[in-house]
Amino acid sequence: MAGKQRQGAALVTGAAKGLGACFAEVLAGDGFDVILVDYRANAARERAAELSKRHGVRTHVIEQDLTLAAAASNIQSQCESLGWPVEVLVNNAGSLLNKHMHELPWQQVEGNLHLLLKVVLELCHRFIPGMIQLGSGHIFNVSSASGFMPGAPLMSVYGPAKAFLIPFTETLNFELEGTGVHATAVCPGLMTTDIFASNGLDAIRNTVPEWMWMKPDRVAQEAYRAGRRGAPVYVSGLTNRLAVTMARFVPRALLRGRTRLLHGGGIMDLLPRAGIASDKPSGQHAALVTGASSGIGKSFTEVLASQGFDIILVARRGEILKAHAEELARTYGVRAHAIVQDLTKADATEIIKAECERLGWPVDVLVNNAGFPVTELFHRMTWSQVDAIFRLYVQSAVHLTHALVSGMIRRGWGRVINVASTAGFEPGSYRSSLYSSSKAFLISFSESIAKELEGTGVSATALCPGFTKTEWFSKNKLNNDYVPKIFWVDSEQVARAGLKEALRGTPVSIVGTPAHRVLLTMFQIAPRHALGRFLSNQRRSKVRV
């Protein structure tokens, strides 16, 4: 991106106003032709005309609603017709949900998830190959300083999506080294744009002091300069940078308390809340466990069945799953039902939901656990692979939670356990594009809905196991010889501890050996980029994939 002779154009989403408009201005000022993407076509056209007049660059407007499934492919085909190769991509568009997730229809939650995350992944995936061909490119993924903080109420999709984008963008830098393509996660704090007012959340302007707000034009200029210097992450303003740095040294439970203060609580509210009633209530309850055919999921089914829960098991390997369901029923005298389903399929969660309704069992515990390792480089995967991983780790967890939590609230008791990983606390590194980011999403998502569900009798827990002895490594031919014995726990230990913490209502539970906890503490306080580099070098040299 040196000099003013630009090979390609810049594409900015949500470019009609706010930060997107400011980014378009900065890029046009630096000599790029600009493609403005927005659903507010008239406002975008006005903006485009101003840019052409002021900076003498070409502009083009693509009218597109980014909550729609075909958005990214429409954008790419319009860029191809235009014949302007995209050299700079700014994934900026975003909006907030103004209600708790369980109060909204699934279509709205899904649209928000698509806008904030899936379309970002798809645009990156579609435009990276062209940038590699040009030998030059830059991706700015607009995250947020809140992406470094625990999840908060009214942020059930926004916060987790932003938490996902930070390690994802860091990973792109490691995976694209030597190609001329770079990426920067842009993490603004509060900005004086319309995002709060246009989502019915203007009250925040009166709650947060004036000095905490920044103007979007300054954020765009600084972020662009930081990106050009090669910064993988840009956090706006000294206060936010201090907050993000300090967050590394403060226990997460204490940071979670900050949201109560922002939402009108007193200073005592900064303290983490005591656990809630920790026993399973009497009566018949069922638990749905995904990835129940082996490992942690299988252990969960045993621990839950031993406590009298009926079990609904979900996984792909039908024979194993059915045999295990029969064994659970025989051993523990509970009802057990197997749903053979691949969670990477588009209609999987709808099928599971319908099957639960047909069974009519009161599903009061949901364990989102299914997973397989993701080791391929992001730009080497096909889009259908990326899409499948996104569905498995992110979309199915959010959808099943949304589908089942209302029933739990109605019955006055329930637990959602999202099996994340200690990897969810790590910076992005080589070959971790979708795994650690998805786990970071699940941690923030669990914290956010735990807050939204306070007072309903339902709670959510992100369970973060360290290295766990399961089929994970052998089945997927992953080398784990380099991990010392002192770091390993077994799956039964993970399930027991996870359920205990979930019953107590703990929002985040880490299960690992003492040695692993020491390592995690060191990871948390280590400089982020240096740690990402260290982990990348480990993966390059030691992990056989």
Ligand X SMILES: NC(=O)c1ccc[n+]([C@@H]2O[C@H](COP(=O)([O-])OP(=O)(O)OC[C@H]3O[C@@H](n4cnc5c(N)ncnc54)[C@H](OP(=O)(O)O)[C@@H]3O)[C@@H](O)[C@H]2O)c1
* Binding stretches for ligand X (CB under 6 A): 290-297, 315-317, 342-344, 369-372, 392, 419, 421, 465, 467-468, 470-472, 475, 491
CB of 339 to ligand X, least distance (A): 10
Q: Enumerate the β-bridge partners of residue 89.
A: 11, 139
Q: How far is CA 157 from CA 74, 294, 424, 487, in A?
A: 24, 29, 16, 32
The b-or-e profile of 227-241 (16+ CB within 10 A means b, else e) is beeebbbbbbbeebe
Q: Which is nearer to ligand X, 16 or 440 (CB)?
A: 440
Burial of 283: CB neighbours in 10 Å, binned 0-12, 13-18, 19+:
exposed
Taking alpha carbons only, the member of 54, 14, 7, 61 closest to residue 34 is 61
DSSP 198-238: GGT-TTHHHHS-GGG-B-HHHHHHHHHHHHHTT-SEEE-SH
Q: Which is nearer to ligand X, 141 or 438 (CB)?
A: 438
CA distance 40 to 175: 35
Residue with tokens 């009497």: 282
DSSP 191: B
Count the alpha carbons within 13 Å of 61 in the hemisphere toward its beta carbon: 21
CA 539, 167, 394, 120 torsion-angle sign: negative
Nearest to 192 by CA among 204, 177, 180, 174: 204
Toward ligand X, which CB reaches closer, 379 or 516?
516
Residue 366: both structure tokens together: 């949901």
Instruction: Using the minimum distance from each CB to ligand X, give the nearer residue, 6 or 439.
Output: 439
Closest separation in Å from C-beta 295 to ligand X: 2
Whichever of 143 and 468 has its CB closer to ligand X, that residue is 468
**In what helix (H) or strand (E) does residue 469 lie, and over which residues does it extend?**
strand 468-469
Buried b / exposed e along 342-355 (16+ C-beta atoms within 10 A): ebbeeebbeebbee
Tokens of 207: 């709650």
- Residue tagged 């786990």 (tokens): 439
The nearer residue to ligand X, 85 or 427, going by C-beta atoms, is 427
CA 79, chain centre distance (Å): 28
Cα 421 from Cα 440, distance rounded (Å):
8
| Active-site entry in 39, 393, 435, 482 | 435
* Sole residue written with tokens 């069974």: 359
Closest distance to ligand X from the beta carbon of 452 (Å):
23
Using the structure block, give the residue that is written with the tokens 């600009």: 34
Of 187 and 394, which has the nearer Cβ to ligand X?
394
Q: How far is the CB of 113 from ligand X (least distance, A)?
A: 18
Q: Which is nearer to ligand X, 39 or 487 (CB)?
A: 487
Ranked by CB distance to ligand X, the top (closest) residue is: 295
In the complex, least distance from residue 240 CB atom to ligand X, rounded to whole angstroms: 30
Least distance CB 464 / ligand X (angstroms): 7
Active site residue 482: no
The edge-to-edge listing of strands for the beta sheet with 86-91 is: 59-63, 34-38, 9-13, 86-91, 137-142, 181-187, 233-235
Least distance CB 475 / ligand X (angstroms) = 5
- For ligand X, the closer of residues 106 and 487 by Cβ is 487
Shortest Å, Cβ 297 to ligand X = 5
Q: Nearest distance from residue 320's CB to ligand X, in Å? A: 6
CA 320 vs CA 292, 293, 326, 474: distances in Å: 10, 6, 10, 17
CB of 503 to ligand X, least distance (A): 19
Coil/strand/helix, residue 11: strand
Q: Which residue lies nearer to ligand X by CB, 32 or 393?
A: 393
Q: Which is nearer to ligand X, 61 or 419 (CB)?
A: 419
In angstroms, the CA 91 to CA 13 distance is 6
Supply the minimum distance, in Å, between the C-beta of residue 426 and ligand X. Answer: 12
Strand partners, 221: none
Cα dist. 276→93, 143, 455, 505 in Å? 38, 33, 10, 6
Give catalytic residue positions.
435
